[in-house]
Amino acid sequence: VLVGGALQFAVQIPAVVSLVPRLRVSLRLRLRGVREVARRFGPAVAGRGVVTISSYVDVILASLLATGAIAYLDRAQVLYLMPISVFAVSVAAADLPELAREQDSRERMNERLVVGAARVLLFLVFALVAFVVFGRPIVGALYQRVNFTADDTYVVWLVLAAYSLGIVAAGLSRLLQNTCYAAGDTKGPARIAAVRLVFAALGGLVLMIQLDRVAVIDGELERLGDLPAFWLLDNEIRQAGEIRRLGAVGLALAAAVAAWLELGMLRRRIHRTLGLRPPFGRLAGRLLPGAVVAGLVGYLLMRSLSGAPHLLTAPICLVVAGTLYLLVANLCGQPAARDLLLPLRRRFWSGRRP
């Protein structure tokens, strides 16, 4: 991560120098720009890194659960964070300069926000469908080996599916944070991020205690204690590693609900401070038919290939369902899907010209 961050910084230096040949680097606090950056840096990092910080809090709480909970969380978080990092964070980073330049025009800011949201939704809605509907073979293809059993795959999939219920909200929240940052508001998103962290931690504590009394045994869900529960399992029970308990699923569910809470608070803030109301519902509605088709086809493929290795089932489900998802989204007028398919249409059409 450190090397990647350094490289990301280094590759931008030539472009910056070409645009500002006489650029001088200075950290003098007497300069207004330096003071401004120093004042906003802490809140911006807290707001921007809330997804990662929330994951760390989940790991800390998972250390109080039955053996294996941390490993299940770790494996699920790798998959859950990947679409957010690759698509949501990258789109947000690319849009931030444009939003800052257009902060004097609320109409153009809203248009920029809609374009970014359409791109993020296109990928994250499919990630939600894939992880929830046919995430089990995906997890199995990546992790299931000699010491990682089918029951382990089942538990990691349940954790991943629970996390994924909030993946769309987590991605859109990154865009709304950028909108606040472009307008000079860094403290608001940081306070909202703090609320999300507290809610996720408290909700996760309650849910993990309940679900630590539910386990996967030979591919079936079984209750192993009285519910509702009000305290952690005894230490001897928690250290019995042969039982795959679902306490980690409770942490993931709380994180998903907290992500939607954060999104709602951010939407209310930009509406109150900037007068912006991005039509997330309408944009997501255009993806609903494609999501239904992708989920149904992916599920049927997964069922029909139930006896095949996960290494075969997972890519087939992803490729077929993903292709249908893009095609249906394009037919429904989703602009990001149209832009993604445009190079393919041009190549196909140009290849058939006389």
Kind plus residue range of the DSSP H or E element containing 209? helix 187-211
47-61 pLDDT per residue, tens: 666 777 888 899 999
Amino acid, res. 72: Y
Query: What is the model's pTM?
Result: 0.87
Per DSSP (E only), the strands in 145-296 are: 214-217, 220-223, 244-245
Residue 151 vs residues 218, 233, 247, 311: alpha-carbon distances, Å: 7, 21, 15, 17
Q: Among residues 54, 63, 57, which one has the least CA distance to residue 81?
A: 54
CA distance 144 to 154: 10
Angle (CA) 247 253 258, round 5°: 130
Position 66 pLDDT exceeds 50: yes
pLDDT band at residue 95 under the 50/70/90 scheme = confident
The pLDDT mean for the chain works out to: 88
What tokens were used for 99? 């939003």
Is 173 found in the same domain as 87? yes
The DSSP line for 168-187 is HHHHHHHHHHHHHHHTT--H
Q: Among residues 196, 208, 200, 203, which one has the least CA distance to residue 249?
A: 208
Residue 293 vs residues 48, 297, 320: alpha-carbon distances, Å: 33, 6, 11
Q: Among residues 134, 122, 48, which one has the least CA distance to residue 92?
A: 48
Is 165 found in the same domain as 302? no
Q: What is the pLDDT of residue 101?
A: 77
Cβ atoms within 10 Å of 292's Cβ, excluding its own:
13
195-248 pLDDT per residue, tens: 999 999 999 999 999 999 999 999 899 998 888 988 998 888 888 778 899 999
Buried b / exposed e across 8-40, counting CB within 10 Å, b at 16+?
eeeeeeeeeeeeeeeeeeeeeeeeeeeeeeeeb
Q: What is the pLDDT of residue 123?
A: 95
105-133 pLDDT per residue, tens: 778 888 888 889 999 999 999 999 999 99
Q: In the chain, what is the greatest distance between 2 CA atoms, to the nearest angstrom? A: 76
Is 315 found in the same domain as 256? no
Q: Residue 306: which domain range?
A: 287-337
Residue 304 vs residues 220, 269, 324: alpha-carbon distances, Å: 20, 47, 18
Is 42 found in the same domain as 82? yes
pLDDT band at residue 325 under the 50/70/90 scheme = very high
177-201 pLDDT per residue, tens: 888 888 888 888 889 999 999 999 9
In a domain, 354, yes or no: no
Is 143 found in the same domain as 115? yes
Phi first, then psi, for residue 217 (nearest 5°) are -130, 115
Position 71 pLDDT exceeds 70: yes
Q: For the chain, how many structural domains are there in total?
A: 2
Is 315 found in the same domain as 272? no
Helix (H, G, I), strand (E, B) or coil at 108: helix
Position 307 pLDDT exceeds 80: yes
Q: What is the pLDDT of residue 354?
A: 46
CA distance 280 to 110: 11
CA distance 99 to 102: 5
Non-local (6+) Cβ contacts of 311 within 8 A are: 141
Mean pLDDT along residues 28-54: 69
What tokens were used for 93? 């980073």
Contact indicator for 269, 179 with CB cutoff of 8 Å: no
Is 304 found in the same domain as 270? no
Report which of residues 285 and 99 the model is more confident about: 285
Is 258 found in the same domain as 225? yes
Which domain-ending residue is among 227, 250, 277? 277
In a domain, 324, yes or no: yes
Contact indicator for 84, 249 with CB cutoff of 8 Å: no
Is the peptide bond prior to 309 cis by the omega test (within 30 degrees of 0)?
Answer: no
Is 234 found in the same domain as 294? no
In a domain, 27, yes or no: no
In a domain, 170, yes or no: yes
DSSP 8-state secondary structure symbol assigned to residue 294: H
In a domain, 28, yes or no: no
Is 306 found in the same domain as 259? no
Mean pLDDT along residues 239-268: 93
Is 293 found in the same domain as 253? no
Is 253 found in the same domain as 309? no
Contact indicator for 248, 212 with CB cutoff of 8 Å: no
